[in-house]
Amino acid sequence: MSIKKTNSGNNITEFGDLISIAKPVDPLFGFKLIDGAELNVSGNSAGYTVAATYEMTPSGGTYNGDANFLVTVSGGAVTKITVVGGSEVESSSLVGETVVFDEATLQASFGGGTGSATGTVAAADETEVTEVALGGNPNNGMGLYVGQSGSVTVKLAGMSDFVTFANVPDGEFMPLRAIAVRQESGHATDVIAFI
């Protein structure tokens, strides 16, 4: 059997006699929207004729992530903007970001009416991801490569608690059986998990 690995496009390429799958860990930490979070609603929407809830794509705003939203009209105005399914991780907090549903977008779903609605992300609408379960076989775990020095906090196969390896140097391969990694102060960066 030949060695195979995944590259950044998730294509498998051969390079030897074992199977190796690599996954950068750092991009998995950050902030994401919570499924079911209700954003703060503002705007001047009025007179929409269909009282309903529809999944809609924003027509604007500062949020550029991949979340989907349910928009609810009641009494002619937008009363709720709800996150559907959560979102992928973003590197920085999403608090204060907005999604906008303009008049044309609202009219297409809710009939005649005027004005727009804006949903604004509050702290309660997001969660910070500081712990990541690693793929691969959970009974075997994954090894780690540390690109930039720092501490590495991991849960190893068969363990229930995390352990911290302090001052791991640049370019260090850690032949562990890690099943999860936690981001903490002073953590190493450019970490890659591999099997």
Q: Please, which pLDDT band fits residue 10 given cuts at 50, 70 and 90?
A: very low
Q: How many residues does the chain have?
A: 195
- Tens-place pLDDT, residues 88-109: 999 999 999 999 999 999 999 9
Amino acid occupying residue 147: G
Write the CA distances from 167 to 3, 27, 78, 146, integer angstroms: 31, 21, 52, 11
Helix (H, G, I), strand (E, B) or coil at 170: coil
Q: What residues contact residue 103 under an 8 Å CB cut-off, 6+ apart?
A: 45, 113, 114, 115, 116
Nearest to 184 by CA among 27, 24, 29: 29
pTM to 2 decimal places? 0.76
Using an 8 Å Cβ cutoff, are 182 and 154 in contact? yes
Token pair, residue 109, equals 């779903």
More confident residue, 133 or 118: 118
- Tens-place pLDDT, residues 134-155: 865 556 788 999 999 999 999 9
